Structures are given as C-alpha cells and as structure tokens.
Amino acid sequence: MSESQWMEIGALADIPPRGARVVRTELGDIAVFRAADDAVFALDDRCPHQGGPLSQGMVLGHRVACPLHNWQIELGSGEAVAPDEGCTRRHPVRVEDGRVYLAPDTGGAAEAARSVETES
C-alpha cells in the first residue's frame, strides 16, 4: 500500500526561513524545509551519503548542504548534486492558508532506509 495521507504539521511561520523542522512519523523522521522564498519541501531526514541529518544543514536556494560532509542535496528532487550521487526520498508537502500539510510516502521511505543501511 503506498497511498499517502495528508497530515497537518503546523504553521509555515513555525519553520524558520532557510531552515527546517523534523516531523516524526511511523516511517521515520521527515525534514520539512522552508526556503527563503517560502517554498516548502519534504525529504527523509537522512543524507544519501551516510545518513546525516539534513534538517540540520544550511538551506541555500533550493538546496541543502548536509552538515556532515557538505554534500549538496536538491530539495525538489532529493538528489545529490554532481559529482556526488545518491537520492533521498521526497514526500509530498503543500501549504494552504499558512498551514503546512505533509503526505508521508510509505513506499519511498522503506527504499530510502534500505539504501542508508547498505552504505553504513
């Protein structure tokens, strides 16, 4: 079953601009990012390199720099910027009337967890 359910996670204003907050779900921690232009993105809070907490990275434009070894991850796709290679699962997220809604992607989270396990 990969059907996603929208859940309200709070106000956009509660996420610092160019920052993130972590939403703990049954599928693991999901980092919800807010770019300087108020675009929001949701990715597993795990770097595709060695599982670093992306929520603690610096957001620049629509990318986040992993705090561990500085890989750059595209927030829109979850992909590492070349020359690095790897992909973190993204999750659907939207803003309505200043509230943020997240739909954790069940199929993807399991896949992301597997890829991290094989690297560590």
Would you tell me which residues interact with ligand FES (CB under 6 A)? 47, 49-52, 66, 68-69, 71
Residue 116 beta carbon to ligand FES: minimum distance, rounded to whole angstroms: 9
Work out the number of other CB atoms within 10 angstroms of the CB of residue 65.
Answer: 18
Do the Cβ atoms of 93 and 42 come closer than 8 Å?
yes
Residue 34 beta carbon to ligand FES: minimum distance, rounded to whole angstroms: 20
Residue 76 beta carbon to ligand FES: minimum distance, rounded to whole angstroms: 18
Residue 46 beta carbon to ligand FES: minimum distance, rounded to whole angstroms: 8
CB closer to ligand FES, 66 vs 100: 66
CB closer to ligand FES, 9 vs 90: 90
Residue 5: closest CA among 92, 78, 110 = 92
Do the Cβ atoms of 89 and 21 come closer than 8 Å?
no
> Does residue 116 sit in helix, strand or coil?
helix
Gap between the Cα atoms of 43 and 72, Å rounded: 13
CB closer to ligand FES, 10 vs 86: 86
What amino acid occupies position 90? R
CB closer to ligand FES, 94 vs 114: 114
